[in-house]
């Protein structure tokens, strides 16, 4: 019986390794071709370059693709939306979780409904134009934050529900005002789920392509993924440069995910199981 169980575990692990290799194959393909010459990269093979590694492709991409300003734009959009989402979603989830009246329950369901509702780009375009936020960096930060708030509120809401109300009452007895109660007492207790919100918001913002394509008309405000799209249009025949551009764009996302993957799992299981 035990041998059959061990054999089953070996089979499951082998299947997991096989699927992992299949998923990693496109990444390895892009990485290998990013250090080849233009002619060698034209066949898009998994073979290592025979004439050496051409790391100068990355310097060409940074210079011609204007990745310096686009990297700063992506970093600004991601960090700005992370800060707004962490503070606003935590405050919203705390208030709605601690007040279980019908009104607050309705407001919670209304906000969470935003997870499933599609984006009406026509109406959103009109709103952005009326508020003069179209083609601005602050407009993109607010837009990213608003779209991701419903899921973040849903994630934090259940986590707050597991924190005993006795902590709130003890802080009030000690003389804490509402603002100090939240930021000095509750906010530190939300660290596990807030780290999850931070990582997920950063990744979603960095990878977003449609919103900046619609609402940013000037290339000065473009994030890195739009720079890849534009770069591919100019250098479609130079696959080595295109692959190098993709590698540089994906690198921050991979690093953030590797550093925060354990917090993503912990926060999702702690905050999203109980509704």
SS3 annotation, 95-152: HHHHCCCHHHHHHHHHHHHHHCCCCCHHHHHHHHHHCCCCCCHHHHHHHHHHHHHHHH
User: What 3-state class would DSSP assign to 35?
Assistant: coil
* DSSP symbols for 263-274: HHHHHHHHHSS-
Percentage of the chain exceeding pLDDT 70: 92
Q: Find the range with the poorest average confidence among 23-27, 75-79, 205-209, 220-224.
A: 23-27
Name 51's Cβ contacts closer than 8 Å, sequence gap at least 6. 37, 40
- Determine contact, residues 227/171, Cβ cutoff 8 Å: no
Let me know the angle formed at the C-alpha of 168 by 269 and 186, rounded to the nearest 5 degrees.
50
Region 51-58 average pLDDT: 83
CA distances from residue 186 to 114, 183, 247 in whole angstroms, order as listed: 25, 6, 40
The Cβ of residue 193 has, within 10 Å, a number of other Cβ atoms equal to 27
pLDDT of 93 above 60: yes
Let me know the angle formed at the C-alpha of 165 by 159 and 168, rounded to the nearest 5 degrees.
105
Which pLDDT value is given to residue 260? 74
**pLDDT class of 250 with cuts at 50, 70, 90:** confident
Q: What pTM, to 2 d.p., does this model score?
A: 0.82
- Determine contact, residues 124/60, Cβ cutoff 8 Å: no
**pLDDT class of 96 with cuts at 50, 70, 90:** very high
Q: What dotted CATH number matches 56-271?
A: 1.10.3720.10
**pLDDT class of 266 with cuts at 50, 70, 90:** low
Between 81 and 229, whose confidence is greater?
Answer: 81
Query: CA–CA separation, 169 vs 164, rounded Å?
Result: 9
pLDDT of 257 above 60: yes
Let me know the angle formed at the C-alpha of 118 by 117 and 119, rounded to the nearest 5 degrees.
120
Which pLDDT value is given to residue 72? 93
Name 156's Cβ contacts closer than 8 Å, sequence gap at least 6. 89, 90, 93, 94, 190, 193, 194, 197, 271
pLDDT in tens, 173-230: 888 888 888 888 889 888 888 988 998 899 899 989 889 988 988 888 999 888 888 7
- Determine contact, residues 140/211, Cβ cutoff 8 Å: yes
pLDDT of 36 above 70: yes
Region 256-274 average pLDDT: 64
Query: CA–CA separation, 250 vs 52, rounded Å?
Result: 23
**pLDDT class of 272 with cuts at 50, 70, 90:** very low
CA distances from residue 18 to 14, 44, 46, 214, 261 in whole angstroms, order as listed: 6, 22, 17, 39, 21
User: What 3-state class would DSSP assign to 36?
Assistant: coil
Mean pLDDT computed over every residue of the chain: 85
Largest Cα span, the chain: 73
């Amino acid at each position: 019986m035990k041998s059959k169980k061990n054999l089953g575990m070996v089979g499951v692990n082998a299947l997991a390794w096989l699927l992992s290799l299949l998923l990693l194959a496109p990444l390895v393909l892009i990485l290998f071709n990013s250090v080849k010459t233009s002619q060698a990269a034209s066949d898009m093979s998994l073979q290592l370059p025979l004439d050496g590694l051409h790391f100068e492709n990355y310097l060409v991409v940074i210079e011609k693709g204007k990745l310096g300003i686009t990297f700063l734009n992506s970093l600004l959009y991601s960090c700005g939306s992370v800060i707004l989402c962490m503070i606003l979603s935590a405050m919203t989830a705390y208030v709605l979780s601690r007040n279980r009246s019908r009104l607050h329950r309705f407001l919670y369901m209304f906000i969470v409904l935003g997870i499933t509702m599609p984006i009406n780009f026509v109406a959103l375009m009109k709103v952005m134009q009326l508020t003069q936020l179209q083609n601005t960096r602050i407009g993109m930060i607010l837009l990213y934050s608003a779209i991701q708030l419903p899921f973040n509120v849903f994630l934090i809401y259940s986590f707050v529900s597991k924190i005993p109300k006795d902590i709130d009452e003890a802080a009030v007895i000690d003389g804490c005002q509402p603002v100090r109660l939240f930021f000095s007492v509750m906010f530190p207790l939300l660290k596990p789920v807030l780290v999850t919100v931070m990582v997920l918001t950063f990744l979603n913002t960095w990878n977003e392509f449609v919103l900046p394509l619609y609402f940013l008309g000037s290339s000065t405000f473009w994030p890195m993924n739009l720079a890849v799209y534009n770069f591919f249009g100019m250098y479609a025949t130079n696959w080595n440069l295109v692959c190098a551009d993709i590698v540089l764009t994906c690198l921050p996302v991979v690093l953030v995910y590797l550093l925060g993957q354990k917090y993503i799992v912990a926060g999702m299981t702690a905050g999203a199981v109980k509704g």
